[in-house]
Amino acid sequence: MGQLSTTAFLISSALKVLGVFTIWLLAVAGVTLAERKVAAWIQDRSGPNRVGPWGTFQPLADGLKNFVKEENLPAGASRWLFYLAPVISMFPAFVVFAVIPFAAPLATPWGGVNMVIADLPIGFLFIVALGSLGVYGLVLGGWASNSKYPFLGGVRASAQMISYEVALGLSLVPILMLSGNVSLPGIVHQQQQSLWFVLPLLVGLLFFTISYFAETNRLPFDMPEAESELVYGFHTEYSAMKFAMFMMAEYSNLIIASALIVTFFFGGWDIPFWTGDDLRYAADGSIAGGQSAWWITLLTGLAYALKVGFFVFLYIWVRWTVPRFRYDQVMALGWKILIPLLVVYIIVLGAVMLLLEGAGITFGTRYLLWLTALNLILMLGIMFWLDRSRIIVGTGWRQMRPQQAKPRG
């Protein structure tokens, strides 16, 4: 067993791309269905149940409908940008997954195959860079439509994405500090060896999740769409397949958000409390850490899908539960709360890490447990001191005191 030959590498990569892309499209379709089914469940109604058993083929029917629907182009729209916008929106949403590892590496007769399409040494930066490309789709879509609601949606999109891009980038810094590398398989491996980063970076997870909610434009941060305010925001004027592409981009981003949370904080494809899957793909093509087997790869893949599925569910759950922020509240949350807090968090985390290393504790479970304690304290501080439990119990709610109207005169 060693490194793959060039031919084998090309073939395996092509197969991975094909496989992942197919599963990805199916997953996106599945998430659209899941969104409607979960929404229906939350809202005590049936949801789609006409097409196929349990409404399973609803996404297919939607796709077909979108293919045969009329495309329209608003008068005075900028034609090329109008067509380009959904593509720009969809492209990054589909490409980011290339650097995310989704299962344990597999040893084959031709050599070890790493279960990530492209293990880029700059995986991290790739995500950040491509993630911020997506906003161009929204902004261009809003601007090119030559219509006021999309225009406002586009403006909101650009402002919101830029603000939360900063918060998102900052919330990734703690992971970088802790893991010390930018390769995603590397980060997964570190979590297998010690603790899932959800514990030592609990506060980081909080900020990351919030930022990604804003990045995916989901309720409560769906400012660019805000259907009760801006009709449908940046894609008001879109119909048929171009509209579907925006939708696919949205749901792809949703899966990516979940996938990233899982990869950074929940051990990626790691199955907890089991060392049999602690496999690692080394640069020379060998697989270290245990005996590789197809069923381990399959099992870890399933574990990964389950974890991602849970976070997709979380996103859907939140969407159908809470109201929408106001635009200025979103901006205030980003600039006045998230970014300063993240900066403080990074400084505190760095200081404690420096202390720990000064005390001779090196990276490992004990080191991470110390950070866990720090994070728990910080979390409590944020919740009960800084936030003054405004979010948890909604302080500031008023009670209505019913009273008799004055007696008749």
Q: Is position 46 an interface residue for another protein (rule: CB under 8 A)?
A: no
Question: Which residue among 56, 146, 181, 286 contacts another protein (CB under 8 A)?
Answer: 146
**Element (DSSP H or E) covering residue 205:** helix 202-215
Please select the residue that binds another protein; options are 6, 7, 45, 359, rule is CB under 8 A.
45
Using rule CB under 8 A, residue 263 touches another protein = no
**Contact pick of 68, 75, 283, 359 for another protein (by CB under 8 A):** 75
Backbone angles phi, psi at 104, to 5 degrees: -70, 145
Q: Which stretch binds another protein (CB under 8 A): 58-66, 217-225, 248-256, 284-292?
A: 217-225
The Cα-based distances of 157 to 106, 114, 178, 198, 331 in angstroms read 41, 37, 32, 29, 11
Q: Distances in Å between the alpha carbon of 164 and those of 132, 153, 161, 247? A: 10, 16, 5, 21
Q: Give the whole-angstrom CA distance, residue 318 versus residue 297.
A: 32
- Least distance between another protein and beta carbon 408 (Å): 5
Shortest spacing between CB 110 and another protein, in angstroms: 52
Instruction: Tell which one of 91, 126, 151, 266 touches another protein (CB under 8 A).
Output: 151
Counting contacts by CB under 8 A, is residue 239 touching another protein? Answer: no
385 belongs to the binding site for another protein (CB under 8 A): no
Is the CA virtual torsion 218, 224, 227, 228 positive or negative? positive
Among 68, 283, 359, 405, the residue binding another protein under the rule CB under 8 A is: 405
What phi and psi values does residue 73 have, to the nearest 5 degrees? -130, 115
In the structure encoding, which two tokens stand for residue 372, read together? 């866990």
For residue 191, the minimal CB distance to another protein (Å) is 32
Query: What is the SS3 assignment for 11-44?
Result: HHHHHHHHHHHHHHHHHHHHHHHHHHHHHHHHCC
CA distance 109 to 1: 7
User: Minimum Å distance from CB 151 to another protein?
Assistant: 5
Interaction of residue 354 with another protein, rule CB under 8 A = no
Q: Is the distance from CB of 154 to CB of 187 less than 8 angstroms? A: no
Instruction: Decide if residue 401 touches another protein (CB under 8 A).
Output: yes
What is the Cα–Cα distance from 1 to 39, expressed in whole angstroms?
Answer: 49
Q: Does 226 bind another protein (CB under 8 A)?
A: yes
Rounded to an integer, what distance in angstroms lies between the CA atom of residue 163 and that of residue 134? 14
Binding to another protein (CB under 8 A) within 87-116 occurs at none
Q: Using CB under 8 A, which of 27, 113, 152, 188 touches another protein?
A: 152
Structure tokens, 30: 């599945």
- Of 273, 291, 359, 408, which lies in the binding site for another protein, with binding defined by CB under 8 A? 408
Residue numbers of the site for another protein (CB under 8 A)? 39, 42-45, 75-77, 143, 146-149, 151-152, 219-220, 222, 226-231, 320-329, 390-391, 393-394, 396-406, 408-409
